Amino acid sequence: MFKQIGHIVKRNPVFLSVRYKAAYEGDGKTTVRVINQEQDLGLMIDAFATYGFRLNNGITVLGPIAIFPRTILSWQVKSSKEITEDSLRFFKLLEPKIDLLIIGLESNDRSTTDTVFRAARAVKLNVEILATEHACSTFNFLNSEARSVAGAIIPPLHVEVNEDDMLKSKLHYENLYKKELH
Amino acid sequence: MIINLLKLIKKTLPSTSKRYIQVRHCLSSDDKPADVQIGDPFCLTPIEYESHTLRKHDNFKRQRLYEFGLYVAACMPKFVQKIQMQHTDELEILTSPEGLFPVMSFMAHHQHACFNQCSHATAIDVPSREYRFEIAYNLLSLRFGERARVKSYTDEVTPLHSAYSLWGNCNWLEREIYDMFGIIFTNHPDLRRILTDYGFVGHPLRKDFPLTGYVEVRYDDELKKIVYEPVEFAQEMRNFQLQSPWNYLRSFHESYNCPVPEKKEAK
């Protein structure tokens, strides 16, 4: 590597200083901010699977969850058919009052969405009914904006996995630093 | 003489140029008397204006587009209900709601149609009708360089088949239509709100939704967060009557558009 740089320095020394400069350093520079890593913004969902969720403080919760800005609870609901007026009444009793409840359903069917919507309307809650994947990300960025939102999310029935996800979960469960070197 | 020659050519040349000849024949035929009420439904009367300030119509292109519309109607008589040409020379194909997806897949995939781009999709709300919503898809054919519009109708509860499998951009376009009007699309991968706020109730572009909405948002300094409150006006709605005490628009009086015939006094 250093031999190559030596080569370049010999040939065109002027360009070396320009070569490794960032594309734009100024006011409108594009930055990336991963809100999950910022611990003081509250609880966020890092990952989801068919069995549960992993949060950004390292906790893995199994089954459906009721998630709040800084609290996590397990929700006693087996599927979206069991979401009735009674199971949502708990969210109405919270103090400070939540602005929005995000419900994450395990599938995208219109019929299940309708029954849940009717149950939510009976409790007079401001709800947003989404699929699990979208519910997790919506809860994350609404929580990062410090709005009082709560999430009632059921793990999905099907998860579409790509290779990046498989690699990340493999790395998570195999602690590379404790592995023996071959 | 020229017409007879054209008819002769029609018989001999292959069918691809027959179309061209038919169009030219339509445009140049003089054997119809001017005072006949019922015109030929397949031939549009060419629009020619003497005035130079008015838009020039490409009559040949217009007739060809109209014939394509007739072709679509002939291919799918069950679903296509009407073909219309707008004053801007745009083709509109009106279909029944069950036939919306078959007609659009015809337009997308058929070799004589090839509408491989959906420019836009919108809906209109006319609450006085039984089927209050009209939905329109603007299509563009890159192969033939033509545009067409496929329109259909539905009411608040009947779902329509999504066009996502034909054109991928219909994902967001139909999400917008669902969010603004409440029209539900079946076979859509992810139908949820796209423009309104989370937890927003109502469909804004319906005619019965007020212009200012029901809820207003503000940042409360004491609570240090955003609060939602019912909308309130500092000033009530005012109806302006644009009148002045001076008659400076004396010529533009009430009967300006429908002049009352002057009564001549008999002397």
Which H or E run includes B102?
helix B100-109
| pLDDT value at residue A15 | 47
Digit-coded pLDDT (tens) for A140-156: 989 988 888 999 999 99
State the smallest CA–CA distance between residue B235 and chain A in angstroms: 28
Least Cα distance to A102 among A78, A79, A133 occurs for A133
Domain boundaries, chain B: 58-238
| pLDDT value at residue B76 | 94
For the purposes of burial, counting CB atoms within 10 Å of the CB of B5, is it exposed (0-12), middle (13-18) or buried (19 or more)? exposed
Average pLDDT, whole number, for chain B? 84
Half-sphere exposure of A35 (CA within 13 A, CB side): 15
Instruction: Please say if the pLDDT value at position B137 is more than 80.
Output: yes
Cβ(B163)–Cβ(B186) below 8 Å: no
Digit-coded pLDDT (tens) for B205-225: 999 998 888 888 888 878 777
Confidence of residue B11 (pLDDT cuts 50, 70, 90): low
A138 with B192: Cβ contact below 8 A? no
Cβ(A35)–Cβ(A45) below 8 Å: no
A102 with B198: Cβ contact below 8 A? yes
Cα separation, B82 vs B73, in Å, equals: 8
Cα separation, B174 vs A77, in Å, equals: 32
Cα separation, B10 vs B164, in Å, equals: 42
Closest Cβ opposite residue B199 in set A100, A110, A134: A100
Confidence of residue B62 (pLDDT cuts 50, 70, 90): very high
Cut 0.95: pTM above it: no
More confident residue, B255 or A27: A27
The answer to whether ipTM exceeds 0.85 is no
Token code pair at residue A29: 């520079």
Report yes or no: A158 at the B interface, CB cutoff 8 Å. Answer: no
Least Cα distance to B115 among B73, B69, B167, B50 occurs for B167
C-alpha angle B195-B198-B200 in degrees, rounded to nearest 5: 80
Instruction: Please say if the pLDDT value at position B35 is more than 50.
Output: no
Cα separation, B219 vs A47, in Å, equals: 32
B198 with A100: Cβ contact below 8 A? yes
| Residue B267 CB coordination number (10 Å) | 3
B225 with A146: Cβ contact below 8 A? yes
Interface size A-B, in CB pairs within 8 Å, comes to: 27
Q: Which chain A residue has the Cα nearest residue B198? A: A128
Report yes or no: B226 at the A interface, CB cutoff 8 Å. Answer: yes
Cβ(B116)–Cβ(B138) below 8 Å: no
| pLDDT value at residue A79 | 84
Instruction: Please say if the pLDDT value at position B45 is more than 80.
Output: yes
Can you identify the CATH homologous superfamily of domain B58-238?
NADH:ubiquinone oxidoreductase Nqo5 subunit (3.30.460.80)
B190 with A142: Cβ contact below 8 A? no
% residues pLDDT > 70 (chain A): 85
B192 with A134: Cβ contact below 8 A? yes
List of chain A residues whose C-beta atoms are within 8 Å of the C-beta of residue B190: 108, 131, 134
Cβ(B148)–Cβ(B91) below 8 Å: yes
Instruction: Please say if the pLDDT value at position A11 is more than 50.
Output: no
Q: Which chain A residue has the Cα nearest residue B184? A: A110
